[in-house]
Structure 1
Amino acid sequence: MNYATELKKFATSQSIYSGVRISLAIVIPSIILAHFGLLKEYFLFPLATSFVGLTDQPGPFIRRRNALALSIISFFIVAAIASLVKSFAPLIYLEIVVFGMFFSLLGVYGQRLAGVGGLSLVVLAIFIDGHLTGGNIFKSLLTFLAGSVLYLLIFLVVSKIQPYKLAGQMIGENYLELANYLNLKSKFYLENPDFEGLQKQIIAQQVRIKNLQEETRETVFKTRKIVNESTTTSRLLMLMFLNSIDLHEKLMTSESDYKKIQESFGKTGFLNHVGEYLSKLSEELANIGIALQSGIKAKPIYRIDPELDELYDRYFDLRNQKLSPETLENFMIMRLILVRINNISDELKTIYKVFMDGNRLAKSLSSGLDVEKFVTNNEKPNLKVFIANFSLKSSHFRHSIRITVALLIGYFISKLDFLGIGHSYWILITIVAIMRPAYSTTKHRNLLRLYGTVLGAIAAYILLYFTENGTVLFSVFLLSMILCFALLKEKYAWAVFFMTIYIFMAFNMLNPGNVNLVFKDRILDTAIGGAVAFLVSYLVLPVWEHTQNIELMKNSAKSNLAYFETVMKTFTENKNEVEQYKLMRKNAVIDLANLSDNFQRMISDPKNQQKSLENVHQFVITGHLITAYIASLSQYSKSADQYPEIDFENWNTKISAELQSVFLILDKKELHDSIIDKSTITPEDSVDHLLERRKREISDNEIFNIRDQNRITHLTELKNLTEILDLIYDVANEQRKVAEKISPINLSEKS
């Protein structure tokens, strides 16, 4: 691992940028208040700023602004009602029910409002017993409101000063994830690769790329300054994002039968050079990503052309030594792998050219796409959608019941005098922070929060016990706060670790010498909250991941069929519809990633809820391969009329029938004889005849030492096309058999 590069990635990321912004918004007012001796009296001011800052998720300016405004209103209403009824026990339990159900149901409108709802429940926990409000409720509420508004003002100012900053950072993050993806691919070419382990990592990385692409798509395509304005910066950002999506497809087309490649070339040593070159390309991608995050121009790390020339020379030398009728097809496969590597290299050179000559390119840039079609439509906040989810069939409604029950139990436990709980609201905050609609996610976050809390409490206790230097403690406080907010999304355990440290520091500043009580309460309350969250998630209307599998499989099968048919139109009808193709590609990648993500969560469910685990895993793998092979097929679509030797009509009929069968089986529909007959058609290709003729030529010593990197023989292209079509059919056939093994009744039953 290159630690310098990793540090640059983190230091220039939107996470650290957001963490610094929120932390400074909290700390600067705190320093001013502390200077005048008012921090303890007005502690709710910076606390409110932190809560509103946590709801600020990446996205278009308007959606972020509206979510922040909504959070301010929600927080104030919750704080006011909680403060007014804090002395009436029956009303407290009633408000937990009302607020618990309402705010957790906001998740039906997407992650942004789910975040607002979750933080609203945290505000409820803070104000529920009046621990922090003091005697003057009106003054406390105004202080809390003022702190909330402060963050909104900071957001508006920063957005005005740096309107493109977030988009640049998110696009840069796309390139960084693509770099990780390519680095994983490079390991298939090294000695003794762990094929199964790497394949699992590839699928998990696909999920990360999909999620990030969706967030970036929304930010870029829904930001008016980028879509509508004709500034150089806006056009270049659009160009770089579209390039990242096309590059992702090029990386997907590099999918090969790695076991066969290792068997053919593993002992020659050549594959190590391929892996090393791909690793260098991944470093270049990371370099581009860091530059985009930093807002600077990227310069190449390596001299790509000489490195690529050297790799080709090694290939040509090996071919001249080892080429025979028996190895011809292996060398054809390797030749095409090098072509794909060449394409990726060209793409990188183009991106660097954009950095160097961006102004001229920006003037002529037009995406040519209806960007609205490429943005996921979230449910708009309307009452009908909200009411429609008041049903046990709704996973959001079941989650609302679970979190409400957990809050009621948690609050009841916090009022038990014999436990001697000094900070009861920590139990409720722990429940809100841990509980998620999926049991597996709740279980995972529970463990991460427990580890982070215990280790953070121990670290803070040791620090406060041995250190009295105010400058050192304040520096640790500020650094811990920044790292907490920066890591909250990706590294939850570390975020909790640093959160615990800065909470200890904050309580020590407000009430010095009270560290023993804080230590005990923090550990005890986290343990109680975690136990309640875990038990309720397991026992109260749980939603197991296996119940989602059939629907997600159907979506993936359907979108792969649509993706394949769109690509095949270029071969059978000479239709090259770029926008339709990119839309189908997007849908296929998203649906595959959703299925993969659900499978990963299913692994964390109890053993008795992991229904047909092996079959679902096999379906995910075959889905990944089908999508990758279709992407490989699409690379030839621009010259579809140049391959009369291939029977595209029958291949289209044969593969479409197999892909359609997968969907029909999962949809519990009978396969008609016509579909079965279509899937058994034999295409009338003449490629094998040409291949045999070339083998005879090689037997007669007709081997040409032509070292042209750009020269691909027609036969090599034909052979690759038929192999891709054959692979798509074989994998689709395997996926159909997997679908037949899976019982839709067992997988869809609610338990």
Structure 2
Amino acid sequence: MSYTSDLKRFITSQYIYAAVRVTLAVVVPSIILAYFGLLKEFFLFPLATTFIGLTDQPGPVIRRRNAMLLAVFCFIITATIASLAKEIPLLIFLELLVFGFFYSMIGVYGQRLSSVGSITLIVLAIFIDGHLTGNNTLKSLITFLAGSLWFVLVFLILTRLQPYKLASQQIGENYILLGEYLKIRAQLYLPNPNYESISHEIISHQIKIKNLQEDTRETVFRTREIVRESTTTSRLLMLMFLNSIDLHEKLMTSESDYKALHQDARNQDVLSAMNVFLLNLATEITNIGIDLQSGTKAKPLANLDSELEKLYTVYYNYRNTKMGSENLENFMILRQILMRITDLNSEIKKIYTIFSQDVKLAKSLSSGLDVRKFLSTEEKLNFKVFRNNLSLDSKQFRHAIRVTSALIIGYGITRFSFFPVGHAYWVLITIVAIIRPNYSITKHRNYVRLFGTISGAIIAYLLLWQISNNTILLFFLLASMILAFTFLKSKYFWSVLFITLYVFLAFNFLKPGNINVIFRDRIFDTFVGGFVVFLVSYFILPVWEHTQNIDLMKVATQDNINYFKVVMQNFEVEKSEQNVQDYKMKRKAALVSLANLSDNFQRMLSDPKNQQKKLEKVHQFVTTAHLFTAYCASLSQYFNGKNFKKYPEIDAKNWTAIITAELQKSLAILNNVKQDFPTEDLKIPENELEFLLNKRKAELDENEPTDRRDPTKISHLAELKNMTELLELMSDVAREQRKALKDFQNFVEV
């Protein structure tokens, strides 16, 4: 992708859009207050605006609004109590105990309320310190309330003016990630690919795609205007998102025996041509995503059919001169890859067609799905859920205890007069910002927070040392603020760096000439907060990732069984009898559980060595689970096209029994249950494939190869060969997965 596309992708993303919204909501009243000389006196107004803006998580408008109103309520109640007790240390410790635990525990209701709780704890830290709030408590609280409500008002106005903006940006980002995913897979067609490195990249990117798809589902499927499909825009957005999920499945179908193909050097010209075409497709997918983000109509960047014709020309030139009985099977693999690439090309053309629909045609578009069934269940806002999590078995309960402990210890340290802590609230804010339910994420954020703070402080110091022009400094302040909010969810190091820069510049406007004190205090207070978090996260009720493995492996195995069975049903039913919704729901479940398992495994790599239990075995399980899901996706493509075929030569019933039995064995091991399976009755089914292959090889030996060039046709033999290979690979992978689990028998996680 060119630098121009990179820049356009960045400036049209949901992250910078949200960052600009928060920044303008903060800056406009700040400039007005500064003009009248009131900014120092009413500094809490823009500060409250910032905090409410930080609680805004992507999702349906009504839920975002309700969360912000809840945040306003929590802010004011907490700030009031903190202001009244700020001179009484004993009450402050009690506040930290009660509020620290409660606002951490409300994370059981989801990420949105978790965000509200975390920011409220930051508000608590500021008001118990009193450094920024002044002596007039009532005035401070009213100012803080006004600043909070100001952002809510800005949010309501902008969402009314642009009701579909977030949805289109999230869907666009889905396509951009899919484009990147295809670029990674395209590396498999280059000479001497690093299979292990590429596999790791693929798994990591699958996690990103899954997380974004879940966020987008929440936004699209819970937004009434979109679900009702009442307007052209809502219909198009719904279909564009559903097509992105189908496209994701098609991108997963490129699993082939690449090692065998690369062993024959004669295949390299075709493989290189495939790499080039896949990169072109990846660019087109990214182009669709960028145009969705920006709200413009997407148009193809190149003539895809013409480029595909060039690819087929390379293939047919090779086939018609080099194909023989000794390399027939390699050509069958290449032909299957070409068919998948052709399907991808058709899918992208279809997406472009949907994207460019006019109003009349768009009215006839419909998903035909009950999208509500694809949403994950949410914890209801009732006390029963909260009460049920008051146990050491609850990950959130353990997290709440760690947060509370860290806040009390952190504040306790600031009470020692001989300890040179400049701002107690900076220590507490650092603790809240870093600590997370997972040790691995906490550890990463701890390092990043410290290095980001040091880097940002040095840059800010140099800027303030060299620049005295307030206009230039204001420009840097605005830019750093926008970039800090932009990178907050994606690149935490850069976010911390720009937050530090923003804080330094803001304090310089409020208290000029205080740079040396701020520099020293900011770094030291960050170090103190980070050290407290390290001790607490390691020693107080830590949740190690290996304790989650067994449950996640069970879910992934069961979902793969369900996905495999629904794919295999296609061998027995007519196309009219296919339950598309049931298939898509089982596909979604398999992809989500697989990504959850992979995400947990990657976090496990950051845990201490002594907590990386059975690392190699889990890694092997994750790899085989990914392969199995990809093979299922590949097999499903034979029944998703317009020309629905039957394959009586394949003993689908027996294959289903064989592969399901292997997966059931894995599930039994994970459940620590001894279960007998009739493996002696489950033999590899015989079919006509060997006979047909030998017959075709004999024809090649007896006759000169003919110059046939029909990209739309693929021999029935090639389809049978590939389908049989997929079933054999799934059987092998399921068996390998079961063997990898043998050490888990009678193994109890501690």
Same fold by TM-score greater than 0.5: yes
- More displaced, 4-13 or 168-177? 4-13
Task: Please show how residues 606-621 of structure 1 align to structure 2 within 5 Å.
Answer: 606-621=608-623
Inter-partner Cα distance in structure 1 for 2:361 and 2:98 = 56
SS in 1 for 2:254: coil
CA-CA distance at 1:671 after TM superposition: 2.2
Contact 2:669 2:745 in 1 (8 A): no
Ranges of 4+ aligned residues in structure 1 off by more than 4 Å: 638-641
2:680 alignment partner in structure 1: 677
Pairing 1:663–2:646 present? no
1:53 alignment partner in structure 2: 53
1:599 alignment partner in structure 2: 601
CA-CA distance at 1:240 after TM superposition: 0.5
Inter-partner Cα distance in structure 1 for 2:384 and 2:264 = 61
SS in 1 for 2:650: coil
CA-CA distance at 1:637 after TM superposition: 2.5
CA-CA distance at 1:414 after TM superposition: 1.3
Inter-partner Cα distance in structure 1 for 2:557 and 2:270 = 37
Inter-partner Cα distance in structure 2 for 1:176 and 1:266 = 34
Among 711, 719, 730, the alignment partner of 1:728 is 730
Pairing 1:396–2:399 present? no
CA-CA distance at 1:270 after TM superposition: 2.4
The AA in structure 2 aligned to 1:739 is L
Pairing 1:474–2:508 present? no
Inter-partner Cα distance in structure 2 for 1:264 and 1:342 = 24
Among 652, 656, 676, the alignment partner of 2:656 is 652
Task: Please show how residues 306-705 of structure 1 align to structure 2 within 5 Å.
Answer: 306-574=306-574, 575-637=577-639, 642-674=646-678, 676-677=679-680, 680-705=682-707
2:717 alignment partner in structure 1: 715
Over residues 133-155 of structure 1, what are the superposed CA-to-partner deviations in whole Å (9 max), with x where a residue is unaligned? 11110110010011001111111
Contact 1:687 1:715 in 2 (8 A): yes
Pair 1:116–1:571, CA change in 2 (3 A): same
The AA in structure 1 aligned to 2:305 is D
CA-CA distance at 1:230 after TM superposition: 1.8
1:270 alignment partner in structure 2: 270
Over residues 141-188 of structure 1, what are the superposed CA-to-partner deviations in whole Å (9 max), with x where a residue is unaligned? 010011001111111100100000000000000000000000001111
Over residues 35-65 of structure 1, what are the superposed CA-to-partner deviations in whole Å (9 max), with x where a residue is unaligned? 0111001000000000000010100111111
The AA in structure 1 aligned to 2:689 is V
Inter-partner Cα distance in structure 2 for 1:737 and 1:523 = 51
Pair 1:262–1:643, CA change in 2 (3 A): same
The AA in structure 1 aligned to 2:448 is L
- More displaced, 697-706 or 407-416? 697-706
Segments of 5+ residues of structure 2 without an aligned counterpart are none
1:242 alignment partner in structure 2: 242
Inter-partner Cα distance in structure 2 for 1:189 and 1:493 = 34
Task: Please show how residues 183-202 of structure 1 align to structure 2 within 5 Å.
Answer: 183-202=183-202
Provide the alpha-carbon RMSD of the alignment. 1.2
Contact 1:101 1:401 in 2 (8 A): yes
Over residues 506-565 of structure 1, what are the superposed CA-to-partner deviations in whole Å (9 max), with x where a residue is unaligned? 000000000000000100011110111011100101100000000000000000000011
Inter-partner Cα distance in structure 2 for 1:627 and 1:482 = 40
Contact 2:174 2:209 in 1 (8 A): yes
Inter-partner Cα distance in structure 2 for 1:235 and 1:418 = 65
Contact 1:460 1:501 in 2 (8 A): yes
The AA in structure 2 aligned to 1:18 is A
Contact 1:104 1:403 in 2 (8 A): yes
SS in 1 for 2:390: coil
SS in 2 for 1:442: helix
- More displaced, 10-19 or 649-658? 649-658
SS in 1 for 2:741: helix
SS in 2 for 1:586: helix
Over residues 175-222 of structure 1, what are the superposed CA-to-partner deviations in whole Å (9 max), with x where a residue is unaligned? 000000000011111122111001000000000000000110110010
1:43 alignment partner in structure 2: 43
1:230 alignment partner in structure 2: 230
Contact 1:33 1:39 in 2 (8 A): yes
SS in 2 for 1:324: coil
The AA in structure 2 aligned to 1:523 is I
Inter-partner Cα distance in structure 1 for 2:64 and 2:655 = 48
Inter-partner Cα distance in structure 1 for 2:710 and 2:267 = 25
Inter-partner Cα distance in structure 2 for 1:266 and 1:617 = 34
The AA in structure 2 aligned to 1:315 is Y
- More displaced, 363-372 or 256-265? 256-265
Pair 1:372–1:735, CA change in 2 (3 A): same
- More displaced, 569-578 or 619-628? 569-578
CA-CA distance at 1:742 after TM superposition: 3.0
CA-CA distance at 1:267 after TM superposition: 6.0
2:7 alignment partner in structure 1: 7
Pair 1:681–1:267, CA change in 2 (3 A): closer
Segments of 5+ residues of structure 1 without an aligned counterpart are none
Q: How many residues align?
A: 746
Contact 1:550 1:744 in 2 (8 A): no
Contact 1:434 1:533 in 2 (8 A): yes
Inter-partner Cα distance in structure 2 for 1:536 and 1:159 = 41
The AA in structure 1 aligned to 2:40 is K
Over residues 220-276 of structure 1, what are the superposed CA-to-partner deviations in whole Å (9 max), with x where a residue is unaligned? 010011111421111000111111011001001112222222223576332111111
Contact 1:570 1:640 in 2 (8 A): no
1:293 alignment partner in structure 2: 293
- More displaced, 289-298 or 630-639? 630-639
The AA in structure 2 aligned to 1:732 is A
1:150 alignment partner in structure 2: 150
SS in 2 for 1:418: coil
Inter-partner Cα distance in structure 1 for 2:37 and 2:266 = 71
Contact 2:426 2:522 in 1 (8 A): yes
The AA in structure 1 aligned to 2:544 is W
Pair 1:332–1:54, CA change in 2 (3 A): same
Inter-partner Cα distance in structure 2 for 1:358 and 1:712 = 35
Over residues 55-99 of structure 1, what are the superposed CA-to-partner deviations in whole Å (9 max), with x where a residue is unaligned? 101001111111111111011111111111111111111110101
Contact 2:477 2:505 in 1 (8 A): yes
CA-CA distance at 1:702 after TM superposition: 4.9
CA-CA distance at 1:358 after TM superposition: 4.0
Contact 2:456 2:498 in 1 (8 A): yes
The AA in structure 1 aligned to 2:723 is L
- More displaced, 107-116 or 585-594? 107-116
Contact 2:661 2:677 in 1 (8 A): no
CA-CA distance at 1:640 after TM superposition: 6.7
Pair 1:49–1:743, CA change in 2 (3 A): farther
Pair 1:161–1:565, CA change in 2 (3 A): same
SS in 2 for 1:542: coil
Contact 1:571 1:640 in 2 (8 A): no
CA-CA distance at 1:106 after TM superposition: 1.0
Inter-partner Cα distance in structure 1 for 2:135 and 2:571 = 77
CA-CA distance at 1:687 after TM superposition: 1.2
Contact 1:576 1:637 in 2 (8 A): no
Identity %: 57
2:739 alignment partner in structure 1: 737
2:139 alignment partner in structure 1: 139
Inter-partner Cα distance in structure 2 for 1:280 and 1:312 = 15
